[in-house]
């Protein structure tokens, strides 16, 4: 594995907040033989912050994000993703982290649930201890989602990202289908009033939803826009305002009006960037290692053991 030269990291007060000696990488300063770090975790249910060993936190994220019965290679994939995600979160959100810590709410960060941690998860976390994903010596944004619907997408499409696409992101065909995975297909019926409220939040004034159709699509087949009446609407923004558990993806296959309801149908669950969790499980069952799976969904990455 490629070695990275790290700078020294200090720990601020009892909060255990990591601070790098330059501005390039907050956690990039922690390397060598300093041992396993601690992380501050904000529990959104109890509204309290606790300090955990990082590997203990990673186990809780793996248990919260995927099934504890999955192939151990898929659990290793999620372990490395969770660890990288957490440390990149600290790097990118120093003020929030200093104030509260990393949230256990999936909307804010990663899902966290200790109730289903078992020996398989513990073994997967232990086997990847200290491993993170880097690109050119920096932590990557370790994007993952539940089900790609058969193909991943770009950050430009998924997040309305108009900056340069990260060099490590690629669009790939993913092995999920309706027989081998959950959350492959979805359909949800929204009332017209729900849709109007969502559009109003977006600053779009529409008195009535009289027509709806799919708009522009990206390379993966996901809809970038919906045409509602005479308005062209961003599907990413609309999904956020309608609720991401209802409008599960922008990989839309249908948009129809049925009486006073609007029915949206689609493939996959999540933003579609990076690793598909179900795709990871399927590839693991096919004999792929966690390293091979991560390199399948990302490009030009390294797995670096930083403690």
Supply the DSSP string of 119-166, one letter for each residue: HHHHHHHHHTTTEEEEETTEE----EESB-TTB-B-HHHHH---SPPP
Q: Is 265 left (phi over 0), alpha (psi -120 to 50) or beta?
A: beta
* Whole-angstrom distance, CA of residue 164 vs CA of residue 239: 23
Q: Look up residue 179 and give its DSSP letter.
A: T
Instruction: Give the three-class secondary structure for 270.
Output: coil
Whole-number percent of the chain with pLDDT over 70: 89
Please, which pLDDT band fits residue 267 given cuts at 50, 70 and 90?
Answer: very high
- The parent domain of residue 122 ranges over 9-143+274-305
In this prediction, residues 68-86 reach a mean pLDDT of 98
198 in the same domain as 173: yes
In this prediction, residues 208-219 reach a mean pLDDT of 94
248 in the same domain as 298: no
Confidence at residue 208, expressed as pLDDT on a 0 to 100 scale: 86
* Radius of gyration in angstroms for the set of CA atoms belonging to the chain, rounded to a whole number: 20
Selection from 253, 254, 249 nearest residue 271 by Cα: 249
* Whole-angstrom distance, CA of residue 244 vs CA of residue 219: 22
Whole-number percent of the chain with pLDDT over 90: 83
Question: Is 2 a member of any domain?
Answer: no
* Whole-angstrom distance, CA of residue 67 vs CA of residue 58: 14
Question: Is 4 a member of any domain?
Answer: no
Please, which pLDDT band fits residue 34 given cuts at 50, 70 and 90?
Answer: low
Highest averaged pLDDT of the listed ranges 34-48, 94-108, 243-257: 243-257
Confidence at residue 143, expressed as pLDDT on a 0 to 100 scale: 98
Selection from 200, 196, 188 nearest residue 258 by Cα: 188
Q: Domain total for the chain? A: 2
Question: Is 125 a member of any domain?
Answer: yes
Please, which pLDDT band fits residue 95 given cuts at 50, 70 and 90?
Answer: very high
In this prediction, residues 49-74 reach a mean pLDDT of 97
Is it the case that residue 9 has pLDDT exceeding 90? no
Confidence at residue 26, expressed as pLDDT on a 0 to 100 scale: 41
Quick: pLDDT tens for 269-294. 999 999 999 999 999 999 999 999 99
138 in the same domain as 16: yes
153 in the same domain as 101: no
Confidence at residue 206, expressed as pLDDT on a 0 to 100 scale: 83
**pTM score, whole prediction:** 0.88
Please, which pLDDT band fits residue 4 given cuts at 50, 70 and 90?
Answer: very low
Selection from 142, 146, 150, 106 nearest residue 251 by Cα: 150
Instruction: Give the three-class secondary structure for 200.
Output: helix
15 in the same domain as 162: no
Question: Which class for 260: exposed (0-12), middle (13-18), buried (19 or more C-beta within 10 A)?
Answer: exposed
138: β partners? 135
283 in the same domain as 172: no
109 in the same domain as 156: no
Please, which pLDDT band fits residue 163 given cuts at 50, 70 and 90?
Answer: confident
Instruction: Give the three-class secondary structure for 39.
Output: strand
Q: What is the mean pLDDT of the chain?
A: 89
105 in the same domain as 247: no
Confidence at residue 23, expressed as pLDDT on a 0 to 100 scale: 33
In this prediction, residues 98-107 reach a mean pLDDT of 92
* Whole-angstrom distance, CA of residue 8 vs CA of residue 31: 8
13 in the same domain as 139: yes
Is it the case that residue 80 has pLDDT exceeding 80? yes
Confidence at residue 217, expressed as pLDDT on a 0 to 100 scale: 96
Confidence at residue 106, expressed as pLDDT on a 0 to 100 scale: 87
Confidence at residue 16, expressed as pLDDT on a 0 to 100 scale: 36
Confidence at residue 20, expressed as pLDDT on a 0 to 100 scale: 35
């Amino acid at each position: 594995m490629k070695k990275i030269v790290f700078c020294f990291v200090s720990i601020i007060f009892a909060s255990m907040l990591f601070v790098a000696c330059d501005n390039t990488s907050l956690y990039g300063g922690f390397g060598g033989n300093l041992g396993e770090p601690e992380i501050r975790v904000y529990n959104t249910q109890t509204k309290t912050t606790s300090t955990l060993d990082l590997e203990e936190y990673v186990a809780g994220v793996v248990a919260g994000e995927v099934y504890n019965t999955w192939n151990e290679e898929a659990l290793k994939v999620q372990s490395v993703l969770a660890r990288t995600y957490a440390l990149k979160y600290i790097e990118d959100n120093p003020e929030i982290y200093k104030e509260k810590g990393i949230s256990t709410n999936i909307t804010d960060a990663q899902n966290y649930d200790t109730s289903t941690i078992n020996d398989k998860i513990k073994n997967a976390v232990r086997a990847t201890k200290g491993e993170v994903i880097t690109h050119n010596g920096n932590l990557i944004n370790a994007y993952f989602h539940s089900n790609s619907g058969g193909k991943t997408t770009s950050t430009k499409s998924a997040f309305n990202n108009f900056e340069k696409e990260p060099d490590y992101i690629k669009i790939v065909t993913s092995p999920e289908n309706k027989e081998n995975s959950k959350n492959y297909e979805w359909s949800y019926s929204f009332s017209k009033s729900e849709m109007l409220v969502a559009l109003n939040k977006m600053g779009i004034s529409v008195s009535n939803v009289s027509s709806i159709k799919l708009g522009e699509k990206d390379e993966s087949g996901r809809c970038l826009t919906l045409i509602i009446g005479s308005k062209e609407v961003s599907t990413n923004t609309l999904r956020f305002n309608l609720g991401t558990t209802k409008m599960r993806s922008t990989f839309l296959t249908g948009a129809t009006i049925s009486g006073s309801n609007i029915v949206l149908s689609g493939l996959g669950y999540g933003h579609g960037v990076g690793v598909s969790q179900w795709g990871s499980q399927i590839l693991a069952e096919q004999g792929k290692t966690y390293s091979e799976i991560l390199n399948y969904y990302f490009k030009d990455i390294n797995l670096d053991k930083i403690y």
